[in-house]
Structure 1
Amino acid sequence: MRSLTRPVAGALVLSLATVQLAIAADMANPVSAGAAPVPATNPAITYPQTRRDNVNDVLFGETIADPYRWLENDVRNTPEVADWVARENVVTDAYLRTLPGRAWFSEKIGQLMNYERFSIPVKAGGQYFYERNEGLQNQPQLFVRKGLNGKPRLLLDPVQWSKDGTSALDAWKPSPDGRYVLYSVQEDGSDWRRLEVLDVRTGKRLSDTVRWAKFTSLAWVGEEGFLYSRFPEPEGGQDFQALNYNQAVYFHRLGTDQSVDERVFATPDHKERSHTAEVTYDGRWAVITSAIGTDSKYEVHAIDLAKRAQKGWFARPLITGFDNAWNLIEGTGGVLWFTTNEDAPRFRIVAIDLDAGAPRWYEVVRQSPETINAASLVGNRLVVSYLKDAASRALIFELGGTRVDEIRLNGLGTANGFTGKPGDPETFYSFASFNRPAGIYRMDLATGRMQPFALPKLTFDPDAYAVEQRFFTSKDGTNVPMFVVRKRSVAEAGKAVPTMLYGYGGFDVSVTPGFSAVRMAWLEAGGAFALANIRGGGEYGKAWHDAGRLANKQNVFDDFIAAGEYLKREGITSPDGLAIEGRSNGGLLMGAVTNQRPDLFNAVHAAVGVMDMLRFDRWTAGRYWVDDYGHPDRKEDFTILRSYSPYHNIRAGVDYPAIIVTTADTDDRVVPGHSFKYAAALQAAPIGNKPHLIRIETGAGHGSGKPTDKQIAEGADVLAFLARWTGLDVRSEK
């Protein structure tokens, strides 16, 4: 199924914006102009000495101190930063070793993760390709089988690619007849990708290698080659920090060197634009989608591959202006289907016949009260996935737009996939929820018959956990949904227990129910988990996103704070038992709400967060995020960014909760300097005696591709820390 979340350059599953946050001058950050070094106040922890430089910027008449700017330098090329990282990790690990729950959580997470996992199969040439992890393998392997019930054959084994498991199979796509598999390799969690090609019959890798691919789709052009997106090779030493400009789409012909790849589509006069390519199943059209940032506003061009011999890579404009979202579903002959939010903030489905004398857009499926999340064309039907209050619902339509059926799902959860192709009624999809790992199902749309393809064997009883959805009122009266998960016995008894509250709130990203072994370990220990679907995401379409970005960013923080207040007021969480967690854009959320309401939260996990809102646009993909955050060099945006930037608004003299910051040395999405500077500022500030630590992973990036053993280790460390400061006693749950 084609999702509305595209591989657009810089979309880091994180987004932020601008917000009006009134913090009194006497509560300013200790890194403000003129602030002097402050000794650590936690008597139990001696933080490493961190050098403070006299670095100041004058921005729109305000002097902004930035004493830890030297920590922005790449840890791999800067010995003094590497030394600081090592010293911080020594302190953090020494503290974590004292926590009684660390070993328990490590064992429990490992048990919960030790089950057979499959990806959704992809069919090509009568063969089925899919990923499988037998349980605790560091990386999943790629298999193929002839026919649905054929014997599985191992094609790619990333487990053998590196000793420490940090080389990962990122994306892959079989050629139309299943002869080859094009795949991308991720090293150390970086966003850079290396593309390789495998001969399916022999299992041998071809000589073809493509480098400097990033934020790319994989699109075969018949069996002769493929389309991909890449950036120019960075200057020496800047691989993980240089801004990403001048992305272009190239064609690589099998058997040739990358140096002779043909440039298919580029905009050298608009270096900020990014471009990705897709090819329709029948091979007729290559569709190029262009974006300026992370905002869902695209231009679309179509290349008629049937006329390539006469016209070359001529790109015919279909949509111009960067005004709305346009997401290709599929194409057959001259007809292309798209989802769009043009005149439909919750999306509709439209089509165009490019072979017609005067092509025009026409509506196929109109907008409904629920948000379209993804759509695909399978057999002679459209399968459309909707979000109903952040949970999945799947409907089936005729190609003319008449609704014919609904796919029955197993309760509140998330359905993905519904992959397939025109003319073939077979589709596969997955369904997961907070208490259920993803099961894979096969469905014949012609008969309506559904059967399991691969269901996980679990070490716990999903029915022992209650999943419910509640709604709470935010500061401005907005009704916001929140999922609450806990043991059924706890829910029925109305018992208040330590609770982990998660949020994201940005970049039009919808956060829906899903399974996590780490979160399940928290639940197994007797805690509760809550997911707040705050504004800034895409759960209710464009309006929900717009209400949480740019000048509306404060709504995101208000929503999350209101969620925490609700959990305590309703007796779901214990009075001193509220832990909060957020990653990437959610890491920014953690920093901002902790500054605003340090009294509300008892423990905080801020992961790979954007913490310096005045300089985020200076590295790698950061420049794209101005769609959600605004431009630091524009006064109206600067004023808002300055008001909530986590690094610049730490409140001296106020008791803060216990905080653990996590990042990785090879994160080139949100560079680790954000977390380094934020942690240094926390440790220098007089904000109480609770620990304010940073855990810095090596050989890992923003999150994707992280090996299983690193996931278990980080999960155990974080949960043990949160349990210590919320009163969750894991020893009684052994």
Structure 2
Amino acid sequence: MILRPTALAGAVSALVLAAPAFAQSVTGHHPTGEHMSTTAVDPAKPAYPNTERGDTVETLFGEAIADPYRWLENDVRSDPKVAEWVTDQNNVTEGYLATLPGREWFKQRIAELMDYERFGIPVKKGTRYFYTGNSGLQNQSPLYVQEGLEGARRILIDPNTWAEDGATALSDWAPSPQGKYLLYSVQDGGTDWRIFRVLDVTTGQETGDEIRWAKFTGLAWVGEEGFLYSRFPEPEQGKDFQALNYNQAIYYHKLGAPQSDDQLVFSTPDHREYGHGMSVSDDGRWGFVTSTIGTDARNEVQVIDLSQREKLGWASRPLVTGFDNAWFPVETIGTTAWFMTNARAPRYRIVKVDLAAEKPEWTTVVPERPEPINGASIVGDKLIVTYLKDATSQAEVFALDGKPQRKIALDGLGTAAGFNGRPGDPETFYSFSSFNRPSTIYRLDLASGQSTPFATPKLTFDPARYTVEQVFYPSKDGTKIPMFIAKRKDLKGPAPTLLYGYGGFDVSLTPGFSATRMAWMEAGGAFALANIRGGGEYGKEWHDAGRLANKQNVFDDFAAAGEWLKTNGVTTAKGLAIEGGSNGGLLVGAVVNQRPDLVDAAHAAVGVMDMLRFDRWTAGRYWVDDYGKPSVEADFKVLRKYSPYHNIRSGVDYPAVLVTTADTDDRVVPGHSFKYAAALQAADAGDKPHLIRVETRAGHGSGKPTDKAIEEGADVLTFLGKWTGLKLPPPPGDAEPIMGE
């Protein structure tokens, strides 16, 4: 299955974040006990640590730009002064959170809701099925393998044995074509850097192969003998978490050889800014090099005839030139290749081409329609295409010539994922989830079209006791924006509401289950997710309407969502909390600056907060497709107007704000959050708390161990609940409920 928009090796750049407070998880009983009124302690505004204010000022395009907290950009791991600042801030934040009621309730409920057996989508290679599983509260999910559908599963890899703190994770993995070997990557402490190793599946023993300095890469086997991967040059010592990433190249590793012997397959030394990824067709004959220059869905494609490798080596020929559109390889059969593209189809179409033709000509197989195509795969002799209909999943089966055959029945407003497989397979697997439903894995029989459950979670709550609805509200310019609202059915009248958004990089937000969201709803809160512009919910036009000079639309859309929730009685007059991570952290920072009167509490997670320097670290340079270039005057003027760090307003009553980040985040370096929090604390911004919580060995979000996710989720919800008036059910054995405020 090829998924839009981050299936390219440049998935690097999409800034996608599953916000730490919303780690995927499940189930628990519905709380009992009435929401009775008590008197809650109202903690005083905390005494912030003294943060040194520097005198750095730069003149940019005629404007003097003060940057007093630039010293906080330094790596916390190597600068004792920054490390001391982080320790002091964490002590203040911990001290404040410890005064709030409900923290233990949230911690217990999130843990209970996560404590269920769950599985990932199976991948079949040869006669073997590979999939992840988690017994409930394991910090990391082991990888299982079984022989045939009826075989007994056994653990192949258990990452829980890798580190005492649980912060070393199994990241990507790929079985070899016949399932003899497993290539897998290790993620330590949340970093984007990966270490590759190989396992003999039969014996479970390591082969001794190891690859380092890989990042933003796919895993592509070439037969059973070796694999292709993308890597960067080894960074200067001590700069691995901050240095810009240039000169990505594709290499071939032969099993049993040292990495120093790996063969260079493709690179562009004259264009160090290009990113390169590699995929291989199921039959092993064709390799596709996909080259990107940023985060936009636009790329070039080179093709390599791997059957001629002994004669021609890694010689490639261009198939698509010019960075004008997106071209995602789907699969090949013989010399026919299917692609997903937005060329002359902003909402995507499926095309095919004869790779043996002297002059390739593209033919439309599945034309564009109003619902954007979200993914495509070839399984058996069928083409499976997934669509987004108002940010919810639809799936259809087509013949290979594009003739429609059947729709795949999905259960309500939710998200379907998977549909992987290979030509000739009789089956495929997919998952379905929603805000009130954890992920269920299904097996689809392609001959009969029947879906049967493969792995169903055992629920300890009743999904029918929660409602999931979708509304459409007008933004400032009249554009209709979709928004999901989930809450308990018995919840009457306005309730404290947690509003989540992202709004960027062509990323579509769709319904999904989270133990943390469920804990918020169990406590009597409502959850809302706004599909604001900048995402990919309606194709290229929706994305373009929320980036570059149009970025203000994103903030207007999100503010309009909050206004609608208050005006229409979903939330209370003082009960709106907003949350977003990564690009969504930028969203929260900008909206808090622009509409402090609207927001009552805010959580900005791992956010991009300094819009004048974001392109100076790690993958930040890729993001200019969405944000523009700070070095270009026209872009600078746009960025300057909304940069969260530069637009904090003294003399204005700000809402309560909790900033979260991690010391080993090398996607959005923590200096963004450090500087923003320091500036907010220094400003005359009212009496509500403005705190920062810095996690250790957690990175940008992926790979975070379960215990850290529970702790952070409880802290965030306790803080937001306090400042939105959320009333919690009583702890087990207590007679009285806990009040948020």
Q: TM-score, normalised by structure 1?
A: 0.95
**Local SS of the residue matching 1:185:** strand
> Is residue 10–residue 625 contact of structure 1 (8 Å, CA) maintained in 2?
no
Q: After TM superposition, where is structure 1 displaced by more than 4 Å over at least 4 residues in a row?
A: none
Q: CA deviation at 1:15?
A: 8.0
CA deviation profile, 1:426-474 (whole Å, cap 9, x unmatched): 1000000000010000011111121100011112111100000000000
Give the 5 Å matches for 1:345-494: 345-490=346-491, 493=492
Q: Could you say what secondary structure the match of 1:368 adopts?
A: coil
Q: Match for residue 49 of structure 1?
A: 50
Q: 2:586 aligns with which of 566, 585, 588?
A: 588
> Is residue 211 of structure 1 aligned with residue 212 of structure 2?
yes
Q: Give the aligned partner of residue 166 of structure 2.
A: 165
For 1:15 and 1:563, the matched residues in 2 are separated by: 21
| Residue number among 641, 660, 663 corresponding to 1:662 in the alignment | 660
Deviation string 1:671-712 (CA, Å, 9 cap, x unpaired) is 000000000001000010000000000011000000000000
Is residue 672 of structure 1 aligned with residue 673 of structure 2?
no
| Distance in 1 of aligned mates of 2:10 and 2:107 | 35
SS of 1:559 mapped into structure 2: helix
2:717 matched to 1:725?
Answer: no
Task: Return the letter of the residue paired with 2:400.
Answer: L
Match of 1:21 in 2: none
Distance 2:13 2:157 in 1: 27
Matched residue SS, 2:196: strand
SS of 2:398's partner is strand
Q: SS where residue 88 of structure 1 aligns?
A: helix
Match of 1:284 in 2: 285
CA distance in 1, matches of 2:359, 2:232: 36
Equivalent position amino acid for 1:247 in 2 = Q
- Equivalent residue, structure 1, for 2:21: none
Choose the corresponding residue for 1:575, options 573, 576, 584.
573
Is contact 2:504–2:535 with CA below 8 Å preserved after alignment? yes
The structural deviation recorded for 1:358 is 3.9
1:561 matched to which residue of 2?
559
| Alignment partner of 1:140 is 2:141 | yes
RMSD: 1.1
* 1:7-22 equivalence runs, <5 A: 7-9=8-10, 11-14=12-15
**SS in structure 2 opposite 1:405?**
strand
What is the CA distance between 1:11 and its match in structure 2?
A: 3.5
Distance in 2 separating the partners of 1:319 and 1:393: 29
Letter in 1 for 2:115: N
**Counterpart AA for 2:365:** V
- For residue 660 of structure 2, give the secondary structure of its aligned residue in structure 1: strand
* Contact 2:90/2:693 (8 A) holds in 1: yes
Residues in 2 aligned to 1:515 and 1:584: alpha-carbon distance in whole angstroms: 20
Instruction: Tell me how far 1:9 sits from its aligned partner.
Output: 3.4
CA deviations on 1:271-322 (whole Å, 9 max, x unpaired) are 0000000001000101110000111110001100011111110111000100
One-letter identity of the residue aligned with 1:679: A
Give the aligned residue type for 2:308: K
Amino acid at match of 1:722: L
After TM superposition, give the deviation of residue 423 of structure 1 in Å: 1.0
Query: Is residue 328–residue 337 contact of structure 1 (8 Å, CA) maintained in 2?
Result: yes
Distance 1:731 1:398 in 2: 53
Higher alpha-carbon deviation: 653-662 or 440-449: 440-449
Cα distance in 2 for residues equivalent to 1:230 and 1:588 = 29
What letter is aligned with 2:476? K
Query: Matched residue of 1:476: which SS?
Result: coil
What amino acid is aligned across from residue 613 of structure 1 in structure 2? M
Partner of 2:519: 521
> Which residue identity lines up with residue 274 of structure 1 in the other structure?
G
Question: How do residues 55-134 of structure 1 correspond to structure 2 at under 5 angstroms?
Answer: 55-134=56-135
Q: Residues 565 and 600 of structure 1 are in contact (CA less than 8 Å); yes or no, is this contact kept in structure 2?
A: yes
For residues 403 and 601 of structure 1, what CA distance do their matches in structure 2 show?
Answer: 47
Instruction: Find the aligned partners of 1:502 and 1:732 in 2 and give their Cα distance.
Output: 27
The answer to whether the aligner puts 1:246 opposite 2:247 as a matched pair is yes
SS at 2:610's partner residue? coil
Distance (Å, rounded) in 1 between the aligned partners of 2:322 and 2:360: 19
The one-letter amino acid of 2:162's match is W
* Equivalent position of 2:735 in the other structure: none
**Structure 1 contact 427–442 (Cα < 8 Å) conserved:** yes
Determine if contact 1:591/1:646 at 8 Å carries over to the other structure. yes
Report how far residue 540 of structure 1 moved.
0.2
> Partner of 1:603 in structure 2?
601
Q: Distance in 1 between matches of 2:597 and 2:649?
A: 12
Give 2:23's aligned residue.
none
Maintained 8 Å contact 1:526/1:733: no
SS in 2 for 1:688: coil
Separation in 1, partners of 2:176, 2:639:
46
Distance in 1 between the 2:475 and 2:503 partners?
A: 14
| Correspondence 1:616-635 to 2 at 5 A | 616-635=614-633
The equivalent residue for 1:2 is 2
- Provide the C-alpha distance between the structure 1 equivalents of 2:509 and 2:12, rounded to a whole number of angstroms: 15
Q: Distance in 2 between matches of 1:727 and 1:210?
A: 51
Aligned equivalent of 1:503, options 501, 504, 517: 501
1:425, distance to aligned residue in structure 2 (A): 2.4
SS of the aligned residue for 2:12 comes to: coil
- The separation in 2 between residues aligned to 1:450 and 1:615, in whole angstroms, is 50
1:126 deviation in Å? 0.6
Aligned AA (2:583): N
Aligned partner of 2:32 in structure 1 is: none
Taking a change above 3 Å as real, the CA distance of residues 357 and 682 of structure 1, as seen in their structure-2 partners, is: closer
3-state SS of paired residue (2:160): helix
Asked if the contact 1:15/1:629 (under 8 Å) is kept, the reply is no
Say which is worse superposed, 496-505 or 328-337, in terms of deviation.
Answer: 328-337
Which of 702, 706, 709 aligns to 1:708? It is 706
CA distance change for structure 1 residues 12 and 112 in 2, over 3 Å: closer, same or farther?
Answer: farther
How many residue pairs get matched? 706
Q: What amino acid is aligned across from residue 2 of structure 1 in structure 2?
A: I
What displacement does 1:115 show? 0.8
Matched-pair contact (CA < 8 Å) for 1:9–1:214: no
**What's the secondary structure of 1:536's corresponding residue?**
coil
The one-letter code of the counterpart of 1:217 is G
* 1:26 match: none
Superposition deviation, residue 82 in structure 1 = 0.2
CA shift, 1:713, in A, is 0.2
1:333 is displaced (CA, Å) by 1.2
Asked if the contact 2:14/2:295 (under 8 Å) is kept, the reply is no
Report deviation, 1:356.
Answer: 3.2
Is the contact between residue 252 and residue 258 of structure 1 (CA under 8 Å) also seen in structure 2?
yes
Instruction: Report the Cα offset of residue 733 of structure 1.
Output: 7.7
Q: Give the structure 2 partner of residue 548 of structure 1.
A: 546
Aligned partner of residue 521 in structure 2, secondary structure = helix
* Cα distance in 2 for residues equivalent to 1:238 and 1:127: 41
Following superposition, the deviation at residue 43 of structure 1 comes to: 5.5
Residue aligned with 2:575, SS: strand
Q: CA deviation at 1:264?
A: 0.2
Q: Equivalents in 1 of 2:381, 2:16: separation in Å?
A: 37
Aligned residues of 1:15 and 1:628 also touching (Cα < 8 A): no
Greater displacement, 445-454 / 250-259? 445-454
- Residue 338 (structure 2) pairs with residue 301 (structure 1): no
Cα pair 2:9 2:278 within 8 Å, conserved: no
Residue 165 of structure 2 aligns to which amino acid in structure 1?
A: D
The answer for the alignment partner of 1:343 in structure 2 is 344
- State the shift of 1:8 in Å: 3.5
- The alignment's TM-score, normalised by the length of structure 2, stands at 0.94
Q: Helix, strand or coil for the counterpart of 1:245?
A: coil
Residue type at the aligned position of 2:573: P
Distance 1:501 1:182 in 2: 39
Q: Structure 1: how far apart are the matches of 2:67 and 2:596?
A: 23
Deviation per CA, 1:73-128: give whole Å up to 9, x if none. 00000000000000000000000111111100000000000011111000011110
